[in-house]
Structure 1
Amino acid sequence: MKKLGIIALSALVLGVSCSDEFLEVPPASSLGDAQLQTLDGVEGLLIGTYAALNGVFGNRFEGPNHWITGSIMGGEANKGTDAGDYAAINPIQRYEGDPTSGDLNNLWRGRFEGVSRANRVLATLEAAADVITAADAQRISGEARMLRGHFYFDLKKHFNSIPYFDETVLPTEIPLIPNTPDVWGQIEADFQYAFDNLPEVTDAGRVNRWAAGAYLGKAYLYQGKWAEAKAMFDDVIANGVTSNGLAYALLDDYAQIFNAENDNHAEAIMDVESANNTGSTQNANYFDDLNYPYNTGPDGPGNCCGFFQPSIELGNSFRTDAMGLPLLDGSYNDPANEVANNFVHVVVDGQDEATFVEDPGNLDPRIDWSVGRIGIQYLDWIEHPGSAWIRSFPYAGPYSPKKYIYYRSQENTFTDGSSWTRGYALMNYTIIRFADVLLMAAEAEVELGNLAAALALVNQVRARAANSTFWVRNAGTGDLEANYVIGEYTSFPDQAFARDAVRFERKLELSGEGHRFFDLVRWGIAAETLNDYLAYESQYLVTKFGGASFTAGKNEFYPIPQTQIDIQGSDVLTQNPGY
């Protein structure tokens, strides 16, 4: 499938004709309708649509993991590095982005390119009905509509008001379609069609029936259709299998979710495949090439760049009480509960990094699967050395990213080192994983008043994290690297408590995976939560966040790119409120 993806790109370059007959010659390397209207031709177009999951134009905002628009904007990470590096992100992370952002325009373009590719598959499939079997047509149309639903869902959660067109709309009509927030019905229809028509088991990397079911449940959840979401999640949890036939399950070892050697595992419901040595690093995780600890030596991954540093606030969130439960009242940010982060205090308080004492307090073990901290074993590299891996303490904070980082033992086997950095890794990015589904199901149960059911789902996720066999240990001594204390909830006393518990569990379990901002927006608490985050974080990172604020009624959605408004006209595309 990965090899076909490269070949399929040529199928997307289509010939044009002029009025003079001698000019009616297809461009070199293009395929005409006769070639495309075959099973191989349609499959090639479909693989080209899969390729768009990884982004089309090579812009890092296009990446499926939304490390900027989902995680940084959700307060669980900072841009990292220093103020001058990729400065275009600076106003965006301060909630000061504007419609002229080229990065947001590329995100818009990339997702609509995915929509167009899916539509081309469906249109060509219809034209080739006489030569493609009903079974193949059913599967291909299910995959194309599932992918189209994903691209539109992604556009909806970023921009809210978007133009919608399917394969029946003529190209000349598309520029005349206005944007509207009323597209949930079409998105649901695509996922429902995919759920009804896709097989359960197919090639690893392709979407299947249960991925469509999980995504349909997620679409219901975003709209507050709690009963519909619950019914779909119940079915997925009880009966779902991966595309390669594994029953959905939580992995015993949390770290293996993000390990390239364990791709296509039982927790992967929908993912984006990666590959190396294909002639283009864009087939690897190019969108993460900046997101490694800032280092230039052989003892750290990537030899770059210091972006995507977990926030100080996120680190504190992993503090637990004597029972191993999170501090849902927000007191994890109190001075007595802050996780020791000596990097910042070197600057703020003039402390000596050499005198740093590791945090002795109770911590959820997921902190050291998710956050690179001084003195803690960093995968199979070395203990995080502190200042040697941080480009600017006062600008970026004390931490390094740790998810979706390759291991020392994987250098040049599970990485693509053919470009400017060694940091093109090959682990698949998981768009939806099983723990995500369990917690979305728990959310639906809470809103329906089924607190015991929600409790069991949350505790299932926490029980996996409590498996001490896989807690982070020092590579030399084998000793645990921190005082890990995590427990299960004994009860959810009321709906408000249960709601807070489920939401906080998503923060801990899914940190750095691009979900947080969109969760806060759909819960209706983005302004309150993110302004509190800015107030806290700016105590340390004043040069980055001083004076920044989230504006309710505006910053919940990104601006419609001005370039697109200029192309289609302001009478067609309407700008989002506040921009």
Structure 2
Amino acid sequence: MKNPITKGTVATAMLMLATFACKDKFLDVPATGQLSGAQLTSKAGLDGLLIGAYAQLNARGFSQSASSFNWVRGSVSGGDANKGSNSGDFNALTPFQTFGIQPTSGEVNAKWNAMYEGISRCNSTLRSLASAGSDVTAADKARISGEARFLRAHYYFELKRAFNMVPYVDETKDYGTGIEAVPNSADIWSNIEADLTYAQTNLPVSQGAVGRANKWAATAYMAKVLLYQKKYAAAKALFDQVIASGVTSDGKKYALVANFQDNFNAAKDNSSESVFAIQAAANTGNSDNANPDLVLNFPYNTGSNGPAGCCGFFAPSFELANSFRVDANGLPLLDGSYNSAANQLKTDQGIASSAPFTPDAGPVDPRLDWSLGRRGIPYLDWQAHPGLDWIRDQTFAGPYSPIKFVFYKSQDKSLTDGSSWTDGYSAINYNIIRYADVLLMAAECEVEVGSLTTALSYVNQIRTRAKTGAYVKTAAGAPAANYQIGTYTSFASKEAARTAVQFERKLELSGEGHRFYDLVRWGTAATVLNNFIAYESKLLPVGYTGAKFTTGKDEYLPIPQTQIDSQGKSVLTQNPGY
């Protein structure tokens, strides 16, 4: 049973402090609703502040588009998925798939505010730590400051890749209250690196609570930050360390788990593949401790024979599904022919659930049916996906349902929170960094400055796991589709290796919020996304009306207009094109 740090822990810690702080001095009544400095600077108080900084990872209280999961910007903007549902429901998300985002968007402002709220909580922890009480040891100070700076680096990394130029505020400034106006004129990569370097040095190799960042999470994150800046050699050196020496919080070496799908199963959270994750826990007395990012992202109208019943968002795209087509050797069609009439997957688009339908019989990567739900294929342990009956509007969303972060029927009410309006508040963690991601980032570095043979090995480790792991099976125990997957024998050139590694990220990490950011940092976003729009819009014309990715503009979100207006146009500079 996992024992993660959760948001409810913050309230508990603060309540305990308020209850016992006075003890015999019953005449010293503290101000109602406030905590004294001594309460906040004790070990328990500092850990309470720190847990509050962790709690902001899923941006609860802001919007699904604001979370560190990034299913909206990372996956919908990246072509992994369509917004889903229908055209009228939460239509503020539709511009993320059409690249029609405006500076006045409330969703854009939610991302900005949520990340700066996380930064504010980190800074508060660090400020209070400077006056730490006598019960806070030197080791406590190193750990707490290391975790706070790790989290601050994460929030700034989110802002950097979302908005590019953003204000940098550390614990020495009071930002957002009008006391200090900070411009967005300086690049913040060096600040992010400084925080992660500090975290690497000061965090322990393992932690007592599984949700806390450790030394190896900081090392992997630093490598990722360097990779984003194309500092391949420096990133490679750190990835090498994680691969060779990284250990999980329970002392086990990082490794791929045996079955791909276990990364999205609440009962298998915090495995050897989890490097750093947003922790979720159900039935703690507060549904906020579960995973709120995904409550909309379940098949629609499922009744008692399907999960949650709401709301049909985050529908995997036609293009993504086609990408799992393989050739006679079980290898992906890297030339892009998977979207051709001969290779695209057969779907039930426009076919009633009561009408006959036979699923595609061609060869596909077995990760396909662990990555998305489709007509006629078992949907976890619920039933075979019935098709149209579980889709709110096929003409807007397409025929597929998300499956990666969906709970099993056998877990309903035990690993989902039954206290809220939907069972969609589940205990499934989201891995901000998982070991397969580390291997593929390391493979990129090997392609650019290392060994093509080593890159091949990393990619094949992931493909071998998909080959030897469990396949989706029918009730009779037979494979549910024509699953075929092979490994690469060699990479003919650096260009061929680069193409294979990038496509493997698309397959392995689909629906996990990475795709758009990958395309931007590779410099391929305009070509890939405009080709995607050209294909997907033929099948879903309503959802992609006017869609176009514009180079030099759409790589980044606009600086929220409300932030510019509140701080003054002389302080914040708008991004190009907006």
TM-score bracket, shorter-length normalisation? over 0.9
Q: Which residue of 2 aligns with 1:68?
A: 72
Deviates more, 1:120-129 or 1:558-567: 120-129
Query: Is residue 542 from structure 1 mapped to residue 541 from structure 2 by the alignment?
Result: yes
Report SS of the residue matched to 1:269: strand
Pick closer, same or farther for the CA change 1:525–1:12 going to 2, 3 Å: farther
Counterpart in the other structure of 1:297: 303
Partner of 2:390: 389
Match of 2:113 in 1: 109
Q: Secondary structure of 2:187's partner?
A: coil
Query: Residue 35 of structure 1 aligns to which amino acid in structure 2?
Result: Q
Cα-to-partner distance string for 1:335-367 (whole Å, 9 max, x where unaligned): 0000111225x4xxxx99723221111100000
Q: 5+ residue gaps in structure 1?
A: 14-24
User: In structure 2, how many angstroms separate the alpha carbons of the residues matched to 1:173 and 1:419?
Assistant: 37
Deviations 1:440-477 (A, max 9, x none): 0000111115211111111111110011x501101x21
User: Equivalents in 2 of 1:574, 1:286: separation in Å?
Assistant: 33
Q: Which residue of 2 aligns with 1:375?
A: 376
Rounded Cα–Cα distance in structure 1 between residues aligned with 2:450 and 2:199:
30
**Alpha-carbon distance in structure 1 between the residues aligned to 2:194 and 2:60:** 25
Aligned length: 561
Q: d(CA) in 2 for partners of 1:10 and 1:187?
A: 34
Map of 1:495 onto structure 2 = 494
Give the 3-state SS of the residue equivalent to 2:315 in structure 1: strand
Asked if 1:262 is matched to 2:268, the reply is yes
> What residue in structure 2 maps to residue 55 of structure 1?
59
1:222–1:8: structure 2 CA closer, same or farther, 3 Å change rule? farther
Corresponding residue for 1:176? 181
* Code of the aligned partner of 1:135: A
Instruction: Check conservation: 2:296, 2:312, Cα contact below 8 A.
Output: yes
2:523 is matched with which residue?
A: 524
Report the equivalent of 2:100.
Answer: 96
Equivalent in the alignment of 2:471: 471
Which residue type is aligned with residue 472 of structure 1?
Answer: V
Asked if the contact 2:252/2:272 (under 8 Å) is kept, the reply is: yes
Larger mean CA deviation between 120-129 and 305-314 belongs to 120-129
Q: Distance in 1 between matches of 2:126 and 2:15?
A: 18
Equivalent-residue separation in structure 2 for 1:264 and 1:408 (angstroms): 21
Deviation of 1:282 (Å): 2.0
**What whole-Å deviation, never above 9, does each CA across 1:5-52 have from its counterpart, x for those lacking one?**
333578999xxxxxxxxxxx9752221212112111111111111111
CA pair 200-182 structure 1, distance change in 2 beyond 3 A: same
TM-score normalized with structure 2 length: 0.94
Conservation of the 8 A alpha-carbon contact between 1:11 and 1:41: no
Query: 1:198 is matched by which residue type in structure 2?
Result: L
Instruction: Please name the residue that 1:561 is paired with.
Output: 560
Letter of the 1:127 partner, please give it: S
| Cα distance change on mapping 1:9 and 1:573 into 2, 3 Å | farther
Tell me if structure 2 keeps the 8 A contact 1:54–1:283.
Answer: no
Is contact 2:294-2:425 (8 Å) kept?
yes
Gaps of 5+ in 2: 19-28
Residue 26 of structure 2: aligned partner:
none
Verify the 8 A CA contact 1:258 1:427 in the aligned structure 2: yes
Aligned-partner Cα distance in 1 for 2:326–2:551 = 31
Which residue identity lines up with residue 193 of structure 2 in the other structure? E
Q: Give 1:197-236 correspondences, 5 Å limit.
A: 197-202=202-207, 203-236=209-242
User: Residue 345 of structure 2 aligns to which amino acid in structure 1?
Assistant: V
Equivalent-residue separation in structure 2 for 1:510 and 1:71 (angstroms): 10
Counterpart selection for 1:322 from 305, 312, 328: 328
Q: Which amino acid aligns with 2:287?
A: T
Instruction: Please identify, of 29-38 and 174-183, the stretch whose mean Cα deviation from structure 2 is larger.
Output: 174-183
- Give 2:298's aligned amino acid: Y
* 1:95 and 1:548 in contact (8 A); partners too: yes
Is 1:188 the counterpart of 2:189? The answer is no
Q: Is the 8 A contact 2:275 2:431 kept in 1?
A: yes
Cα distance in 2 for residues equivalent to 1:498 and 1:364: 19
Cα drift, residue 201 of structure 1: 1.1
Measure, in 2, the Cα distance between the counterparts of 1:31 and 1:200.
33
Hey, what does 2:9 align to over in structure 1? 4
- 1:232-311 correspondence runs (5 A): 232-311=238-317
Native 8 Å contact 2:202 2:215 kept in 1: yes
1:451-470 equivalences in 2 (<5 Å): 451-467=452-468, 469-470=469-470
Q: 1:8 touches 1:45 (CA, 8 Å); kept in 2? A: no
Is 2:39 the partner of 1:35? yes
Counterparts in 2 of 1:290 and 1:372: CA distance versus 1, 3 Å: same
Instruction: Name the amino acid aligned to 2:396.
Output: Y
Report how far residue 98 of structure 1 moved. 0.4
Question: Equivalent residues in 2 for 1:408-447 (5 A)?
Answer: 408-447=409-448
Aligned equivalents of 2:321, 2:10: Cα separation in 1:
39
Q: Give identity over the alignment, percent.
A: 54
Change (3 A) 1:74 1:178: same
Deviation of residue 178 (structure 1)?
0.4
The separation in 2 between residues aligned to 1:431 and 1:9, in whole angstroms, is 28
* Alpha-carbon contact 1:534-1:545 (below 8 Å) kept: yes
> SS of the counterpart of 1:563?
helix
Give, in whole Å, the separation in 2 of the partners of 1:523 and 1:543: 29
Q: Is contact 2:378–2:480 with CA below 8 Å preserved after alignment?
A: yes
Q: C-alpha displacement at 1:106, in angstroms?
A: 1.1
Partner of 1:484: 483
SS at match of 1:539: helix
Amino acid at match of 1:473: K
Higher mean displacement: 353-362 or 73-82: 353-362
Higher mean Cα deviation, 241-250 or 207-216? 241-250
The answer on whether the counterparts of 1:10 and 1:30 sit within 8 Å (CA) in structure 2 is: no
In structure 2, relative to structure 1, the CA distance for the partners of 1:276 and 1:552 (3 Å cut) is: same
Residue 488 (structure 1) shift: 0.4
Deviation at 1:174, TM superposition (A): 6.3
Question: RMSD across aligned C-alpha pairs, in angstroms?
Answer: 1.8
Aligned to 1:78: 82
| Match of residue 339 from structure 1 | 345
Q: Which amino acid aligns with 2:379?
A: Y
Partner-residue secondary structure (3-state), 1:176: coil
| Contact residue 95 and residue 555 of structure 1 kept, 8 A | yes
What is the match of residue 507 of structure 1? 506
Structure 2 counterpart of 1:234, one-letter code = D
| Cα distance in 1 between the residues matched to 2:62 and 2:161 | 21
Cα 1:247–1:41 change in 2 (3 A) is same
Which range moved further: 332-341 or 49-58? 49-58
Distance 2:144 2:467 in 1: 41
Q: Matches of 2:13 and 2:226 in 1, distance apart?
A: 33
* 1:237-288 Cα distance to aligned partner (Å, 9 max, x none): 1110122322100000111111111111110000011122334322211110
* 1:221-240 deviation digits (Å, cap 9, x = unpaired): 00000000000000001110
